[in-house]
Amino acid sequence: MSIIGASNLTFTYAGAPRSSVEDVSLEVSPGEFVVLTGPSGCGKTTVCRCLNGLIPNFYSGDFTGELVVDGMNVKEHTTAELSSHVGLVFQNPENQLFSLSIERDVAFGPENLGLSREETRRRVDWALEVTGITDLKDRPPYELSGGQQQRAAIAAVLAMQPKIIVLDEPTSFLDPKSALEILEVISDLNKKLGITIILVEHRLDLASKHANRVIVMDSGKIVLDGPPKQVYGEQARLIGIGVPRVITLFNLLQKGGLEFSQTPTTVKEAAQELRKMLSR
Amino acid sequence: MIRTEGLKFSYPSASEVLRGIDLTIGDEEFVAIMGENGAGKTTLVKTFNGLLLPTSGRVTVDGVNTRESSVAQLSRDVGLVFQNPDHQLFSETVREELAFSLRNFGYGEDTIDRRVTSILETLDLSRYADSSPFVLSGGERKRVALAAVLVWNPKHIILDEPTIGQDYQQKDRLRNFILQLNTQGKTVITITHDVEFVAECKPRLILLSKGLVIGDGPAEDILSDEQLIEKASLARPQIGALMHELRDLGLSDRVIDVYSAEQAILGALGRRR
């Protein structure tokens, strides 16, 4: 039973000359970690907006096909209803945090679900704990570093206890170390809590390690969909996609006549392959 | 030449953001500034065109103290492209946006027209000349913001996080363009979190941490220094990390880009045969 099911999903923003998402059909199973990538303007962000009902509820345009998320047809439910099933985390955490303390920000969602004080308390404590920011709960967001802010934005979404979390380039404003840490936090949510992750990311170097599936979009359509290894193997069709540098390196070495048993997708695998060859 | 001496800066009611910075950036240098979120990177470059004046110490641009000049005057020589293009763009059309500064500098309409047309072409924006900047995608707005500064041909160009929101292809194009500006004799200073971008461009890399310069040197030196990487919340670029894993086999982790890595690996294999 899939947790996200799209069939022939097409959306055209009001006044736009062509559709941003075109005839997309897609099934995602519970607990998957999906990286969604593709060149600017390929429709990634539009897909994210569909998943939590911002499209068609908030953005006007022409919506055809079906999209069912956690058993709910997005055309028949409001974004508010969907928000406790699908959490959306944006690129810039500053756009998402607005309270005078992190704790208040994280409590905002559960309070608005009309949960009891005790339940809200429990969820806030839990979300802060899982994202590792319990000690920052009384601080205002604007005093925190970008990485801490992004953790808070994730905690605020997590407190709604969604089954799916959609993240739209969550690391692009972060320093490299914070970016790696945030990806670990996301990976933990996936592995330990079984939350389905849809991660939009240009920097596949960072994301490949955690994902079980990579979907590549171009001009509103899905052009590749599979495990990272299989997708990165389709060199010819990945023009404009930032495949991990180790793959580029291995392709160069292979062109130069070296033979490897597999093309690695992570630094660790690459190191193992090269070690075999260099210690022969 | 941009020079800071004992530069300190505090925002009102906040702790010191820059805590004593001494830097000299020569003409025609290509410099990247990296460091953790909140390290003071954006604050630092805002002192280069006089947007912010030092709380103590001084900043000179081509020998002129920024205190004794104005942002309007300094801007002619120091072009600053903001991180968020929406903080910069305001006109109704892209063409108007680009013409704005030139008109303020008092250029004639013919010159304005010629320069605007040329920069639109260079940055692949011609088809948007009559569009509102606000209907463009994030990546395109970023290019408009860059064009709006380049159009008046400043000698020193500062880019705050130019690669955010750019896909791989655009990033490639942007890298070539930045390198080209530099070879044409511009000083290029870019703030970035993107280690892969730095690993490919290999500029002089200045590391900022908590308001102080903690590292300054060739990118391959800085990005292979374990202690500095940790202190400035950096990560090794992917190729650097790979080389680091294999250092016991005689490979150097100062190799941080794909093409040098290929040479290094072929070299190591050759030695073995």
Residue A206, C-beta contacts closer than 8 angstroms, at least 6 positions apart: A171, A179, A180, A183
The CATH code of the domain that includes A127 is 3.40.50.300
> Which residue, among A205, A210, A197, A256, has the nearest Cα to A232 in the 3D structure?
A205
> According to DSSP H, which parts of chain B are helical?
41-48, 71-77, 94-104, 109-122, 138-150, 168-183, 195-201, 219-222, 226-231, 238-245, 258-272
Mean pLDDT on B229-247: 94
Domains of chain B in sequence order: 2-234 (3.40.50.300), 236-273 (no CATH)
Q: Does residue A269 sit in the same domain as residue A164? A: no
Q: Looking at the predicted structure, is the pLDDT value of residue A222 above 80?
A: yes
Cα of B40 to nearest chain A Cα, Å:
12
State whether A101 and A125 are in the same domain: yes
- Residues with Cβ < 8 Å from B221, sequence gap 6 or more? B205, B254
Q: Which of A82, A86, A130 is nearest to A106 (CA)?
A: A130
The answer, for B210 touching chain A at a CB cutoff of 8 Å, is no
Q: How confident is the model at residue A51 (pLDDT cuts 50, 70, 90)?
A: very high
Sign for the pseudo-dihedral over CA of A259, A210, B226, B218: positive
> Which residue did the predictor score with more confidence, B58 or B140?
B58
- CB A1 within 8 Å of CB A24: no
Please give, rounded to a whole number of angstroms, the shortest distance from the CA of B17 to a CA of chain A.
Answer: 13
Q: Same structural domain for residues A31 and A121? A: yes
Residue B65: per-residue pLDDT: 96
Q: Which chain B residue lies closest to A149 (C-alpha atoms)?
A: B37
Distance set, CA A7 to CA A98, A157, B26 (Å) = 36, 27, 58
The CA distance from B56 to B9, in Å, is 7
Cβ contact (<8 Å) for B165 and A172? yes
Report the pLDDT averaged over residues A246-261: 89
> What is residue B28's predicted lDDT score, i.e. its pLDDT?
93
DSSP character at residue A58 = T
Residues A228 and A172 in one domain: yes
pLDDT at A165: 95
Does residue B242 or residue A203 have the better pLDDT?
B242
pLDDT > 90? residue A80: no
Looking at the predicted structure, is the pLDDT value of residue A252 above 80? yes
Neighbours of B169 (CB within 10 A): 14
**A52: CB partners within 8 A, 6+ apart:** A69, A74, A79, A82, A83, A86, A87, A88, A166
Per CB-CB distance under 8 Å, the chain A contacts of B37 are 145-147, 173-175, 178
B198-223 burial, b for 16+ CB within 10 Å, e for fewer? bbbbbbbbbbbbbbebbbbeebbebb
Q: Judge if A209 and A269 occupy the same domain.
A: no
Q: What is the mean pLDDT of residues A130-159?
A: 88
At residue A102, what are phi and psi to the nearest 5 degrees? -60, -40
Share of chain B above pLDDT 90, in %: 66
First to last CA, chain B: 50
Provide mean pLDDT across the span A49-74: 92
Cβ of B13 under 8 Å from any chain A Cβ?
no
Q: Which two tokens stand for residue A125?
A: 């404590």
DSSP state of B126: G
* A248 and A140 together in one domain: no
* Confidence (pTM): 0.86
Q: Is B135 on the interface with A (CB under 8 A)?
A: no
Q: Smallest CA–CA separation between A190 and chain B, in Å?
A: 23
Nearest to B32 by CA among B163, B210, B159, B167: B159
Same domain, A34 and A160: yes
Cis peptide preceding A141, ω within 30 of 0: no
pLDDT at A262: 83
The pLDDT of B154-166, averaged and rounded, is 89
d(CA B129, CA A205): 35
Contacts of A241 in chain B (CB under 8 A): 168
Between B129 and B135, where is the model more confident? B129
Spatial distance between the Cα atoms of A122 and B254, rounded to a whole number of angstroms: 48
pLDDT of A179 higher than 90: no
| pLDDT, chain A, mean | 89
Distance CA A82, CA A89 (A): 14
Instruction: Output the pLDDT for position A98.
Output: 82
User: What's the token pair of residue A25?
Assistant: 């059909």
At residue B13, the pLDDT reads: 65
**Quick one: average pLDDT of B232-259?**
93
Domain holding A257, by residue range, is: 244-280
Among A208, A223, A240, the domain-final residue is A240
How many CB atoms are located within 10 Å of the residue A135 CB? 9
Kindly state whether residues A177 and A270 are assigned to the same domain.
Answer: no
Distance between CA atoms of residues B30 and B208, nearest Å: 17
Q: How does the average pLDDT of chain B come out, rounded? A: 91
A250 in the same domain as A124:
no
- Residue A178 with chain B: CB contacts under 8 Å: 36-37, 233
Selecting from B37, B196, B234 the residue whose C-beta is nearest the C-beta of A145 gives B37
- Residue numbers in B near A39 (CB within 8 A): 167-169
**Distance separating alpha carbons of residues A183 and A185, to the nearest angstrom:** 5
What residues contact A156, with CB distance under 8 A and at least 6 apart? A96, A97, A105, A106, A108, A109, A127
Tell me, what's the pLDDT at B269?
86
Q: Rounded to whole angstroms, how far apart are CA atoms A153 and A174?
A: 13
Interchain contact, A145 vs B36, CB within 8 Å? yes
A169 contacts in chain B (CB < 8 Å): 165
pLDDT tier at B272 (50, 70, 90 boundaries)?
low
**A236 pLDDT exceeds 70?**
no
Helix boundaries (H) for chain A: 44-51, 54-57, 79-82, 102-112, 117-130, 146-158, 176-193, 204-207, 228-232, 245-255, 267-278
Give residue A235's pLDDT. 67
Query: Which pairing describes strands A61-69 and A72-73: parallel, antiparallel, or unpaired?
Result: antiparallel
Q: For residues A259 and A229, state if they share a domain.
A: no
Q: What is the average pLDDT across B155-171?
A: 86
Which among B167, B237, B272 has the least Cβ separation from residue A39? Answer: B167
* pLDDT value at B87 more than 80: no
* Chain A CB within 8 Å of residue B138 CB: yes
User: Do residues A155 and A262 share a domain?
Assistant: no
At B101 the pLDDT is 87
Query: Coil, strand, or helix at residue B52?
Result: coil
Q: Residue A14 has what pLDDT?
A: 84
B242: contact with A, CB 8 A cutoff: yes
Q: Please state the rounded mean pLDDT for residues B53-68.
A: 96
Residues A229 and A258 placed together within one structural domain of the fold: no
In B, minimum Cα distance to A208 occurs at B238
**Strand partners for A198:** A34, A166
- Asked if A179 lies within 8 A of B193 by C-beta distance, the reply is yes
| Mean pLDDT across B214-237 | 94
What pLDDT band is residue B24 in, cutting at 50, 70 and 90? very high
In chain A, the number of structural domains is 2
Amino acid at A71: G
